[in-house]
Chain A
Amino acid sequence: MTVLKHLARGYRVVYAWFWGLVALVFTGLMVSLTIFGPWVVGTGESSAWGLVAGQAPAWFLFTMGIMLATTGLPVAVANGVTRREYTVAAGIFTVVSSVLFGLLILVGHALEILVYRANGIMAALTEPYPAPTLATFGRGVLQHLAFMVTGYLIGLCFYRLRVWWAIAVTPVAMIPVFAGNDQADVTRFGGVWLVLAVACAAGVAAYLLARSVPIRSKKA
């Protein structure tokens, strides 16, 4: 619990920065939209928010996963935390982050709908607006989870293994990312389980790598 609190305290600043930046870009788009009309977003895309918050949060969480492994773990062990305690806390933190980011994406959609309606854009859309459903929410959460776990696993690979080994196993370690991007369609029942299974496998692999990892001296 103390480790989880520590992670939450440490990462909330980075998360705030990230979402602040996203909000800034989004606000800019919305403002231009109300001034210049819907063509700003381009044809074929009906949601500006979908553009801004489609891939970026997932890849951001991917890098956060790498940080959790490469900087968080050694510092925690040096402060008397076991690798197991840390991995469990990092796992919970990954789930919490994924859900949180999923919720924020929903909030963005809700705001966008308000702006669209207020400016009569909704009716002018050539493509139908992707309505925020429980399914899109679930899809987002799964995608984030898969990305962050992958980041953690790859970070550990590079921390623990010789660099060439780490590079060699990276394509395999990336599987959850591919699965998370293409298969996390909640409407297709199998997809959900596939992503979950792959993400869990990555989590287990990460724990196996972490549980006996030596905390090396930086010089040696």
Chain B
Amino acid sequence: MTLGIEVSELRLRFGEVNALDGLSFRLDGGKIYGLLGRNGSGKTTLLSVLAAFRRQTGGQVRIAGAEPFENAAVMRQICLIRESGDVYESDYVRTVLRTAGELRSTWDSEYAQRLAERFNLPPRKTVQSLSRGQKSALGIVLGLASRAPVTMFDESYLGMDAPSRYAFYDELLADYTAHPRTFILSTHLIEEVASLFEEVVIIDRGRLVAHEEADVLRARGVSVTGPVDVVDTFAAGLTVLGEQRLGGTKAVTVYGTLEPEQVRAAKMAGLELGPVSLQDLFVHLTSEAGNR
């Protein structure tokens, strides 16, 4: 089941702050998407609007062609797991899972049981007595077992230790393969999860910075290193995201794919070309200095 998600000119104001500032993009659905942005870039706000947790102050959201806010047909197909967890703190773990089963028509309770065991969640403990990692794991169970056609994790896995996070990645891939649906994972720590994404949406200050296939983005950054004046001449006219200087040597990060003749020219001029990791590209695209 694939539900397309379309966001156009989306705005959300909190008093003086524009958490979302004219954000537009389109997701076909049925893929694993990475939503990347720094802290405070508007990731949680965006996901909260998509999940109908709050209403935007301007612009449009369409999920499967319809506005999600207070739309029963759309809302029951969406599941957002926020880092803080939208569960009742005094409830037992098993009560939380039972509640999801009672309210969600797509819920798979056997799968939930299996996941809860895998993540060592004690069913007879209350939510407030869980460790941070266990709370995150509870969120993972709620999200995966919801089998919601649009399932979103808002940094909800960052509180877990490495083995649990890897268990989450494994479960995510396995369940996505068995039951294809739309997943959106938001994060500001990219290196570890990037290989899970098919497409990546980068936002900053409530605006879209990039929306690309992850592999396309990986090919998009080039670092150019060499003598200051040679680098400057070469980089003139290119999109430079960031630069560093050490004595007479300069390194710039160029956004975009170089043409073969550009590569040749760079080598002729004695410049060193290198790849840029997705994480570095993200840092450059969203840093204060990286105003394109």
Direct contact of A and B (CB under 8 A): yes
- Please measure, in the bound complex, the distance between the C-alpha atom of A6 and the C-alpha atom of B105, giving whole angstroms: 13
Q: Which residues of B contact A211 (CB under 8 A)?
A: 70
Q: Is the CB of A84 within 8 A of B70?
A: yes
Q: Is the CB of B86 within 8 A of A78?
A: yes
A205 at the B interface (CB under 8 A): no
Which residue of B has the minimal Cβ distance to A80?
A: B76
Q: Is the CB of B55 within 8 A of A212?
A: yes
Q: Is the CB of A81 within 8 A of B44?
A: no
A209 at the B interface (CB under 8 A): no
Q: Is the CB of A81 within 8 A of B54?
A: no
Those of A48-81 within 8 Å (CB) of chain B:
71, 74-81
Q: Is the CB of A75 within 8 A of B85?
A: no
Which residue of A has the minimal Cβ distance to B103?
A: A79
Q: Which residues of B contact A9 (CB under 8 A)?
A: 98, 102
Among A76, A77, A80, chain B packs the most CB atoms within 10 A around the CB of: A80
- Please measure, in the bound complex, the distance between the C-alpha atom of A3 and the C-alpha atom of B99, giving whole angstroms: 10
Quick one: CB contact mask for B98-123 with A, threshold 8 Å, 1 for yes? Answer: 11101111000000000000000000
Q: Which residues of A contact B86 (CB under 8 A)?
A: 74-75, 77-78, 215, 218
- Please measure, in the bound complex, the distance between the C-alpha atom of A85 and the C-alpha atom of B100, giving whole angstroms: 16
B88 at the A interface (CB under 8 A): yes
B71 at the A interface (CB under 8 A): yes
Task: For the complex, count residues of B whose C-beta is within 8 A of A.
Answer: 32
Q: Is the CB of B53 within 8 A of A5?
A: no
Query: How far does the Cβ of A163 sit from chain B's closest Cβ, in whole Å?
Result: 16
Q: Which residues of A contact B103 (CB under 8 A)?
A: 2-3, 6, 76, 79-81
Given A80-B148, A82-B72, A83-B70 in contact, is the A215-B102 Cβ separation under 8 Å? Answer: no
A190 at the B interface (CB under 8 A): no
Q: Is the CB of B99 within 8 A of A75?
A: yes
Given A6-B102, A6-B103, A10-B99 in contact, is the A82-B70 Cβ separation under 8 Å? Answer: yes
**Using a CB–CB distance below 8 Å, which chain A residues touch chain B?**
2-3, 5-6, 9-10, 71, 74-85, 211-212, 214-220
**Using a CB–CB distance below 8 Å, which chain B residues touch chain A?**
44, 48, 52-55, 69-72, 75-80, 82-88, 95, 98-100, 102-105, 148
The 7 closest A-B pairs by CB, nearest first: A78-B86, A214-B54, A79-B103, A218-B84, A6-B102, A215-B53, A80-B76
